[in-house]
Amino acid sequence: MERYLKPNIIADLEAKIVLLTGPRQCGKTTLAKSITSSYDYLNVDVSEDILLIKQKTWDRSKKLIIFDELHKLDHWKRLLKGVYDKEGVKPHLIVTGSAKLDAYSKVGDSLAGRYFQYRLYPFDLQELALYYDQSSIDTFTRLMTCGGFPEPFLNGTESYYKRWQKTHNDIILRQDLIDNESVRDIKSIELLVVLLKQRVASGVSYSNIARDLDRDPNTVKRWCLILENMYIIFRVLPYHDNVARSVLKEPKLYFYDIALVADEGARLENLVAVSLLKHLHWLSDTQGSAVQLNYCRTKDAKEIDFLCTIDERRYLIEVKTSDKKLSNSFAHFKKYFPQAQCIQLVLNLDREYSYPDGSKITGLVPWLSNLQENLI
């Protein structure tokens, strides 16, 4: 199946190194190999390949060189800089990684002007509407059951997903974390993941989780950052015009693998969260748009699930399972964002509703399936 980033990557390879990151097993290597049949694939987890990389003796007769998990090597950015400055991008160069590369080495320090970065995420309704030949409702049901990672989604059974998920967790928690972070308290981090799954769509208090784990809040916060850098979870911060103050407030945490979340309401909001993040990052990576994903909450508990910012445009988005009444919170937050479009996404909806001020209640599945037109 084609992936949504492929045309952009092919165009950029003519002049730049392409850094392709995203969760483990979301299809980065498959995408890279699909660009051309003429490639040399080098994996840092293979000893023989490490030697070829360090000696710079890969097959230059190939059109494309793929470096997988290159960030695990010391001074990897210096190596890329030297290759780019001396040889350019003939053959083309793709670096893939299942961790946020700038978290392990300051990419911008030496590769500035030499690369473009892309973030590849699991399947969502929009990508599947473009490339997967099934009805949107069937696709939604499969996403909610099996998640959006290609292997379990394409298999389509819940039992396969559960078996896949066990091995997926083992690879990340017992191999990648140790390789990249020198973490030894794996059991506590496994328990942290369980606790976070129960708190999806709610504000996360590091202090409360620390008490459950019998650990220091700063340790829990550091572990959450590690999970974020490994593309297991992502944060959505409360909006504040003072960025420093927003970071100090409780974030909401979501999983890239939505099927991990047991509660159906929280899983639905998680689906929307990862779909919005994927689309915003696509706009940033392909068009250079300034994007931001937040939520809004007041001290008296008025809340909007998501505030999407794309350059100067804002969208207030509320997620409901079944509710034909426009949320009262929209009127409150419109005072602060008068130009924002208010959108209430409802899973079970028999018809759409629009209002004179531009607010609307619309079907969640069709709206997410057409994000490129609905969120621009």
Q: At 11, which CATH number? A: 3.40.50.300
Domain identity same for 161 and 250: yes
Asked if the structure places residue 1 within a domain, the reply is no
Domain hosting 174: range is: 125-235+243-261
Domain identity same for 334 and 289: yes
Stronger pLDDT, 83 or 74, i.e. the higher one: 83
Domain identity same for 153 and 254: yes
Asked if the structure places residue 54 within a domain, the reply is yes
Q: Please compute the mean of the pLDDT values over residues 4-33 and round it to a whole number.
A: 97
Helix, strand counts (H, E) of the chain: 19, 13
Predicted local confidence at residue 104, as pLDDT = 53
Nearest to 318 by CA among 284, 290, 350, 341: 341
Domain identity same for 305 and 254: no
Domain identity same for 251 and 138: yes
Q: Please compute the mean of the pLDDT values over residues 256-285 and round it to a whole number.
A: 97
Is 60 exceeded by the pLDDT of residue 22? yes
Q: What is the phi/psi pair of residue 3, to 5°? A: -115, 150
The one-letter amino acid code at 7 reads P
The fraction of the chain above a pLDDT of 70, given in percent, is 94
Predicted local confidence at residue 249, as pLDDT = 80
Confidence of residue 243 (pLDDT cuts 50, 70, 90): very low
Q: Identify the domain boundary among 96, 119, 142.
A: 119
Domain identity same for 129 and 251: yes
Helices (H), the chain: 6-12, 28-34, 47-55, 76-87, 101-104, 107-111, 125-131, 136-146, 150-155, 158-171, 177-181, 186-197, 206-213, 217-229, 243-248, 264-287, 329-334, 364-369, 371-374
Domain identity same for 252 and 129: yes
Domain identity same for 29 and 110: yes
Q: What is the phi/psi pair of residue 90, to 5°? A: -120, 105
Structure tokens at 356: 């004179």
Asked if the structure places residue 14 within a domain, the reply is yes
Domain identity same for 151 and 279: no
Predicted local confidence at residue 180, as pLDDT = 59
Q: Please compute the mean of the pLDDT values over residues 369-373 and round it to a whole number.
A: 94
Task: Tell me what the pLDDT averaged over the chain comes to.
Answer: 92
Stronger pLDDT, 112 or 118, i.e. the higher one: 118
Number of domains in the chain: 3
Asked if the structure places residue 23 within a domain, the reply is yes
Task: Give CA–CA dist 82/78, Å, rounded.
Answer: 6
Domain identity same for 88 and 111: yes
Query: Which residues does 210 contact at the CB level (< 8 Å), separation at least 6?
Result: 216, 217, 219, 220
The helix (H) or strand (E) run that includes residue 66 is strand 64-68
Say which CATH number the domain at 293 has.
3.40.1350
Domain identity same for 149 and 208: yes
Domain identity same for 224 and 284: no
Asked if the structure places residue 63 within a domain, the reply is yes
- The dihedral built from the CA positions of residue 84, 88, 90 and 95, taken in this order, carries a sign that is positive
Asked if the structure places residue 13 within a domain, the reply is yes
Asked if the structure places residue 337 within a domain, the reply is yes
Asked if the structure places residue 57 within a domain, the reply is yes
Q: Identify the domain boundary among 119, 152, 184.
A: 119
Q: Identify the domain boundary among 74, 102, 119.
A: 119
Confidence of residue 106 (pLDDT cuts 50, 70, 90): very low
β partners of residue 127: none
Ranking 61-65, 186-190, 246-250 by mean pLDDT, the lowest is 246-250
